[in-house]
Amino acid sequence: MKAIVISRLGGPEVLEVRDMPEPAATAGQALVRIEAGGLNFADFMTAKGGYPGTPKPPLIAGREFCGARETDGQRVMGYTQWAAFAERLAAPAPLLWPVPQGWSAEEGAAFPVNYFTAYFAYWKAGLLTPAKPAPRVLIHAVAGGVGTAAVQIGKLLGVEMYGTSSSDDKLARVAELGLHHGINYKQHDYEDAIRDLTHGEGVDAVFEMLGGEHTNKSARCLRDFGRVIVYGSATGEKSTLDPRLLYAKGASVHGLWLTYLSANRELMGDAWKQLSIWTSQGHLHPVIGNVFPMEKVADAYRLLGEGKNFGKVVLKIATT
């Protein structure tokens, strides 16, 4: 079968389409014929060698996908830790979900990581139950994969949303999804912007995936009892956090890692129960920014690494 292989640690140039042996399913796995794969920042970090828990190269890349389960032909979307960017995958059976009616393979491949992560961010923020007055959330990288999913879910939860991006153009497109306040961080300091936009009160939660100084800055954006949900470090820098920022507001910082949470069947089941209701009602639509054939995988990684994507970057693995 054809597969995208991380040949050695490095940038997009280390990705190669190679012929690889077909996988065999062991207990708890199901064989899936893959049609499309969703590219995540984690894939970019895995190739560079910065992602915990993944084996050393050579390694088949890819952690989310859409395709057909071989045993019954059911169209499924799923989540794994690697090996998804291949024509066939032995996938963890509990992490396969039916593709919503009418969705393309690209949409299915763009769903699991972004929507489960965004859902769990609201869960960690204690904001899954709609409240009055509307809670405020600051979403970093709001125009990205997780960001656009968080906007769609936030709209359903009645949240007042603030979001950061490097580009006015991207912000205008997320506004169409329901973002209330776009902040171009290249032009304005987001901490100042949040202070101004909330009349000095701050937000109830920040979804923080930047790392470095941004954990402190995000904590300074909180109002009383607010929560920073930390779930990434796109800057490549280790988060710094001064706990004194939390004392005065009774605020807290929560970690979120889908790799870890995905092993918890009950939690994933509860999340899917709600997400599948929203998808069947037509409320959630993965935002596909770019689709690349697997031979152009290096271009896809480059686009994501340079932060030039809007929404999800998807790889077409096979045509059916």
Ligand X SMILES: NC(=O)c1ccc[n+]([C@@H]2O[C@H](COP(=O)([O-])OP(=O)(O)OC[C@H]3O[C@@H](n4cnc5c(N)ncnc54)[C@H](OP(=O)(O)O)[C@@H]3O)[C@@H](O)[C@H]2O)c1
Question: Which residues in this chain contact ligand X in the complex, by CB under 6 A?
Answer: 40-42, 113-114, 117, 141, 143-147, 165-167, 170, 209-210, 231-232, 234-235, 256-258, 304, 307, 309
**Residue 20 or 257 having the CB closest to ligand X:** 257
CA–CA separation, 82 and 124 (whole Å): 26
CA–CA separation, 292 and 310 (whole Å): 14
Shortest Cβ distance from residue 121 to ligand X (Å)? 9
**Residue 222 or 258 having the CB closest to ligand X:** 258
Shortest Cβ distance from residue 78 to ligand X (Å)? 15
**Residue 13 or 168 having the CB closest to ligand X:** 168
Contacts of 317 (CB under 8 A, 6+ apart): 2, 34, 35, 36, 37, 65, 67, 85, 86, 87, 294
Enumerate the β-bridge partners of residue 67: 34, 76
**Residue 74 or 167 having the CB closest to ligand X:** 167
In one-letter notation, the amino acid at residue 17 is V
Nearest Cα neighbor of 46 from 3, 88, 6 is 6
Contacts of 112 (CB under 8 A, 6+ apart): 38, 64, 77, 78, 79, 95, 97
Shortest Cβ distance from residue 118 to ligand X (Å)? 9
Residue nearest to ligand X (CB): 144
Do 215 and 208 meet the contact criterion of CB atoms below 8 Å apart?
yes
**Residue 257 or 278 having the CB closest to ligand X:** 257
Shortest Cβ distance from residue 147 to ligand X (Å)? 5
Token pair listed for 219: 């904590």
Shortest Cβ distance from residue 159 to ligand X (Å)? 18
